[in-house]
Amino acid sequence: MPIREEEKMGLIEQIETKVKQTIQEYKLFTKRDKVAVAASGGKDSTSLLYILKRLNYDVSAINVDPNIGEFTKRNLENLRGFCSKEGIPLIEVSFRDAFGGSLCHLNSILESKGIKLNSCTVCGVLRRYLINWIALERGFDVVATGHNLDDEAEATLMNIFRNDTMRFFRQGPVVGVTTSPKFVQRVKPLYFCTELQMTEFSKALGLPVIYKRCPCALTSYRNQVRGFITQLEAINPSVREAIVRFALREIAKRDVKQEEIKVCDECGQPSSGGLCKTCQLLKTIRGDNHEGVSG
Ligand SMILES: [Zn+2]
């Protein structure tokens, strides 16, 4: 059943207000900051671009194409159209330009060297690396990502189930606990917006996005956790918000001392010790020659 015009307007206003409140309450950024949105062309990051533009923030989009075929190609075309219509500057970079190959190619290099990792892990690590690098080069103050409440509730439970305190305490609308000149702060303005709300929001506005999950996504464990939370939702409709609010209170209580945080020997990013995951991957992919990123 199509939603009525008033309901549409109500939903749009509700989401915009929630995002505005999150930005202000958690001091994510101000009107003076140069904000880069990590934009995939999907519903969450495209909605985020739309909202930030409407709220008059100085916003640009950075797209990293992992070159996995039709899916990312269509997403990028949608994003180009959207950004040009909304007057949002778009910076594009691809895995092929930056690392000399597509995600599948890079995965096969890693596998040939005995490193077997989930494709989403490799993609995520490399995309974060490139977005940080571009944001730093172009003088952005902050990188905003489209992670929503469902993503965050799942991640919180996964960290608990893995007994991973380090990651648990690095969560929140403001990511991480260290400030480093090598890293641009990452923030999550959609932290309290659910997946369903973002789907309805983007549909109500008719944003040019495709509602398919990435064909490379093989995150069966995350899917199980998602299914588990959805079951709990039948008993407690606000279970996702309860999970993240609980986590945020614990994070706020903890007085993290800088010296307690171990950092990567190479790049200074928080790490469990030695080289961080990004530096390990980059080293393997580049075959130990310390070339900078091109493109
Ligand atoms: Zn590192």
272: CA distance to ligand 1 center in Å? 11
> How far does the centroid of ligand 1 lie from the alpha carbon of residue 29, in Å?
26
Please tell me the predicted confidence (pLDDT) of residue 273: 72
- Report the pLDDT value the prediction gives residue 64, as an integer from 0 to 100: 96
Are 197 and 65 contacting, i.e. CB atoms less than 8 angstroms apart? no
Q: What is the mean pLDDT of each run of 10 residues along the chain (295 residues)?
A: 77 96 96 97 97 98 93 95 98 93 89 84 90 94 96 95 87 76 90 96 95 76 90 95 95 68 74 79 72 38
How confident is the model at residue 179, as a pLDDT? 67
Taking the centre of ligand 1 as the mean of its atom positions, its distance from the CA of residue 129, in whole angstroms, is 10
Q: What is the pTM of this model?
A: 0.90
The residue with tokens 């519903």 is 43
Q: How far is the CA of 106 from the centre of ligand 1 (A)?
A: 18
Question: Does residue 146 contact residue 190 with C-beta atoms inside 8 Å?
Answer: yes
Query: How many A from CA of 180 to the centre of ligand 1?
Result: 12
Assess contact for 170 and 176: CB atoms under 8 A. Answer: yes
* Cα 107 to ligand 1 centroid, rounded to whole Å: 19
Pick the CATH number of 5-285 from 3.40.309.10, 1.10.10.10, 3.40.50.300, 3.40.50.620: 3.40.50.620
User: According to the model, what pLDDT value does residue 178 have?
Assistant: 59
Distance 274 CA to ligand 1 centre (A): 8
Q: Are 209 and 74 in contact (CB under 8 A)?
A: no
The rounded Å distance from CA 205 to ligand 1 centre is 40
259 CB-near residues (< 8 Å, 6+ apart): none
- The whole-number pLDDT of residue 242 equals 97
Using the structure block, give the residue that is written with the tokens 């309450």: 25
Q: Which residue, 250, 207, 222, is CA-closest to 151?
A: 222
* Ligand 1 geometric centre to CA of 266 (Å): 5
